[in-house]
Amino acid sequence: MDTQRRLGDLEVAFNRIITLDAGSHRVASASPPEEAAQRQSVDDEDGGVPMEEPVQDAWEKPVLVHDVAPRKDTKDVVDGTNFKVGEPVDERLALCPWHNVQSYPNCFVGKANKTDNFSPPSFYFYDPAKVDERPYLFVPTAQFEDYLDDINARLDIRLSLPNRANLERFILRFDRGMPRPRYWKRAVETEDIRPDGPWPGVYAADIDVFNSATLPARDELVRKLRCARTSPFIEEKRRKAKERSEQKRVERGQMLHQTQVLFGLRGEDGEEQEKVWDTNGSKAIERPVFVCFDIEAFERPPNPVSEVGIAVFDSQLVNEVPHGTCGRDWWPVIKAHHLRIREYSGLVNRVFVKGCPGDFNFG
């Protein structure tokens, strides 16, 4: 009876009819009353127990969508069964750096290390200017797209190559008479990309082709290798970190400048003074009053506030007083107030910070 009463309350609250599975005591169905009234029963052919018509699932399936780039059909992917080790790739074939394939889930989906069951033919390429370093690994872009298509079909989602700036990182062609990546093996495993190898050898012909190429062609190859070397995720992260750092630097400079103007430590400009001080359309204040609050809470939950410190600095009182070293000559003008909450006066922080409510010294 108690369960039925609670179900009744839930039905009223959510405006839905709720039934329970008698075996597991879980919600078996939930639908608005008007839908339940309109639903008709269907008898089976043998005249058995009437069955309710199946109700379409009202929940929408999750769809992961990012910058969907237009691309060609990937049904006819590269067949790597006839490749020979060391054979140069066709210059018309678009390649995708294996490094970018591995970083794709983390960059554009949000799940890392999800390239399981993906075993395309791999191609290696030594930087002609740095043959002592390990080679770059590439896989056909068409097969990576086909891999995404398979994921889309299985999970009913929409994944594809990224658009705009990051698209070029997944479509690289080695043409214009430059050295081309060479076939290595069918599948790339984690143990295959160790820094110490083993790696295929360097072809002297590739070095000769690079050295005899024009300067624009060599610069183009260097640019493509840069796309293969850096992850779009790492590069985007670095770019955003640089922007945040620059924004903080600008804000610190503005704050310092504003503070110096308010303290009268900089040459005053009337127009700038009004811009800095006049925040509500009234006349700018020549000497403001600064008020600072220091609130201390007890270190244990629910973290009640135990002390409040208030410091008041009237800059009008130091109009003609030199500030001294680090403003020491202005300290006596600061008026400090220490407020302790009577109900929590017996609580003193000891674990994470050392509380000393009897030795109040603001700041």
pLDDT value at residue 251 = 93
Q: What are the tens digits of pLDDT across the range 27-58?
A: 444 444 444 444 444 344 444 444 444 444 44
Residues 6+ away with beta carbon under 8 Å from 304: 297, 298, 341, 343, 344, 347
Name the pairing type of β-strands 305-314 and 289-297.
antiparallel
- Residue 118: other Cβ atoms inside 10 A: 18
Question: 197 in helix, strand or coil?
Answer: coil
pLDDT value at residue 172 = 86
Name the pairing type of β-strands 51-52 and 289-297.
unpaired
Name the pairing type of β-strands 289-297 and 95-97.
unpaired
Residue with tokens 């030594």: 126
Cα separation, 298 vs 323, in Å, equals 36
pLDDT value at residue 246 = 92
pTM score over 0.95: no
Q: What are the tens digits of pLDDT across the range 57-82?
A: 443 333 333 333 444 544 444 666 67
Q: Would you kindly state where each structural domain of the chain is located, as residue ranges?
A: 2-41, 80-230, 238-283, 287-363
Per-residue pLDDT of the chain (363 residues; tens, 9 = 90+): 555 555 455 455 445 554 544 444 444 444 444 444 444 443 444 444 444 444 444 433 333 333 334 445 444 446 666 777 888 888 888 888 887 787 776 655 554 445 555 667 778 888 888 888 888 888 888 888 888 888 888 888 888 787 766 777 788 888 877 888 888 876 655 455 555 567 788 888 888 888 888 888 888 888 888 877 766 566 667 778 888 999 999 999 999 988 888 887 776 554 444 444 444 544 455 678 999 998 989 998 999 999 999 999 998 888 778 888 888 899 899 999 989 899 988 888 888 888 887 777 655
193 is written with which tokens?
A: 């990309």
Confirm if 341 and 304 have CB atoms less than 8 A apart.
yes
